[in-house]
Amino acid sequence: MTKISGKGLKRIIVDMPSIFLKSEEIITITKQSVVITVLGSCISATLYHPQKKIGMINHALLPADPGQNDFKYVDSSIRFMADHLLRKGIHPNELEVKLFGGARQSASGLPGQGIDVGGQNIKVAVATLLKLGFSISASDTGGCFGRKIFFIQDNGKVYTKMIKNIISGDVSIGK
């Protein structure tokens, strides 16, 4: 994982097709591309097989699934990714796993009040990944700011750019 300024990142991804990952989605990438997403309290896990150059990334909003097996939830979306790769013959110990997001934002919208959704997302993501046999090789989680992340299929690298202004769930990049 590399933190980088906008100009440096533009040089890296200039010739790659980009895909924007929305919340409640999972993407599998097998062709040269960059997946971009914006995270506040949400979590993204990247799973990457360096030899096969297959990558997966999720964008989950809430920690624990109440039984719907929905991509909205951290635990069920990670389980889906693990099952999908296992069906392709790819096991957890073959993958580079990285975790991002989980900024401290309360459910009430007021600092210091309510439930720390980002913190809960991080705990559930780590527990789910470890339970499924994954090792986390890098992470950029928690804190007060959101992140824009760039997941590169060719090499599994993830670049992050901090976002200073997150207001009531709407994300805007500070001027």
pLDDT in tens, 87-141: 999 999 999 999 999 998 755 555 556 678 999 999 999 999 999 999 999 999 9
Per-domain residue ranges of the chain: 2-165
CATH architecture of 2-165: 2-Layer Sandwich (3.30)
pLDDT at residue 82 is higher than 60? yes
- The model's pTM: 0.84
Task: Give per-residue pLDDT as tens, 34-48.
Answer: 999 999 999 999 999
Q: Residue 158: is it exposed, middle or buried by C-beta count within 10 angstroms (0-12/13-18/19+)?
A: buried
